[in-house]
């Protein structure tokens, strides 16, 4: 009977095609240097991680490993969390991140300094503490290029926090998507808030897709987004 280690690279890659990338990394990493080399080349080991479609066991494993393993912390560039048909477990991940840091604040360096793309599919409400851990402890902002957050219902109360992060931290962001289910209230931003919190125009954002509650929010955003080229309509989540 042929052993897994004796299989050709082509056969191994064919077998991996039947699994999500996260499940492949979870199941096969650290077996030997050859397998790790394949994972580095074909599954962006330590660089990209999509936990939206992996098994629950892999999801729990990575929620603990990623914030605590130095290879993940200093090499991760793409992180995708959550899933429509399963609890997104945002709190679990936020708790693990909090454990790995002495203090989470808006002024600290995020634990993933190379992260350039962040995608969240939030299926249940989260606390303000968990939200801020994800916004400031995980994504930070200085090198971020794309940010996508599909929020659950009744998330209007988080509006100012998301906009504060956008205008105060994400100085190099190019694409920003902030959406709720189409039947729910959208997000709110007022001129009064931007003035009190000393907003300045965002000089790099060119793509915006957002669900807003009042048309005035759009006027405010357009005032502070002079480089905006594309404005996307609200769509059903994919």
| Of 70, 59, 119, 137, the residue nearest 92 (C-alpha) | 59
Mean pLDDT in residue range 186-195: 95
Number of folded domains in the chain? 1
The per-residue pLDDT for range 81-130, each reduced to its tens digit, is 987 766 667 888 999 998 887 655 565 678 999 999 999 998 888 899 99
Task: Give 113's DSSP letter.
Answer: T
Parallel, antiparallel, or unpaired: how do β-strands 207-210 and 48-50 relate? unpaired
Residue 102 inside a domain? The answer is yes
Residue 195 inside a domain? The answer is yes
Q: Which domain holds residue 141?
A: 46-232
Residue 210 inside a domain? The answer is yes
Residue 40 inside a domain? The answer is no
Strands annotated E in 3-150:
48-50, 78-82, 117-121, 146-150
Helix, coil or strand: residue 177: strand
d(CA 49, CA 89): 15
The per-residue pLDDT for range 124-178, each reduced to its tens digit, is 888 999 999 999 999 987 799 999 999 988 888 999 999 999 999 898 999 999 9
- What's phi and psi for 35, nearest 5 deg? -65, -40
Residue 14 inside a domain? The answer is no
Residue 79 inside a domain? The answer is yes
Higher-confidence position of 154 and 1: 154
189, 221 contact by CB (below 8 A): yes
The per-residue pLDDT for range 51-68, each reduced to its tens digit, is 988 888 999 899 999 999
| Of 200, 79, 199, the residue nearest 137 (C-alpha) | 79
Residue 237 inside a domain? The answer is no
d(CA 1, CA 206): 56
Residue 194 inside a domain? The answer is yes
Mean pLDDT in residue range 194-207: 96
């Amino acid at each position: 009977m042929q052993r897994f280690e004796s299989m050709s690279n082509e056969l191994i890659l064919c077998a991996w095609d039947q699994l999500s990338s996260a499940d492949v990394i979870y199941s096969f990493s650290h077996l030997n240097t050859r397998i790790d080399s394949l994972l580095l080349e074909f599954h962006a080991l330590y660089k990209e991680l999509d936990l939206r479609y992996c098994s629950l066991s892999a999801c729990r494993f990575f929620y603990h490993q990623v914030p605590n393993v130095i290879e993940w912390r200093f090499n991760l560039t793409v992180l995708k969390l959550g899933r429509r048909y399963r609890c997104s477990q945002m709190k679990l991940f936020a708790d693990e991140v909090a454990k790995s840091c002495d203090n989470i604040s808006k002024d600290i360096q995020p634990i993933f300094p190379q992260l350039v793309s962040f995608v969240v599919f939030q299926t249940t409400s989260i606390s303000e503490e968990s939200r801020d851990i994800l916004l400031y402890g995980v994504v930070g902002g200085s090198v971020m290029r794309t940010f996508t957050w599909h929020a659950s219902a009744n998330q209007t109360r988080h509006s100012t926090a998301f906009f504060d992060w956008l205008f105060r931290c994400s100085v190099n962001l190019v694409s920003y998507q902030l959406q709720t289910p189409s039947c729910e209230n959208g997000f709110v931003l007022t001129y009064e808030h931007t003035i009190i919190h000393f907003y300045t125009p965002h000089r790099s954002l060119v793509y915006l897709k957002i669900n807003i509650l009042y048309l005035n929010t759009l006027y405010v955003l357009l005032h502070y987004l002079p480089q905006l080229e594309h404005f996307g309509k609200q769509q059903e989540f994919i």
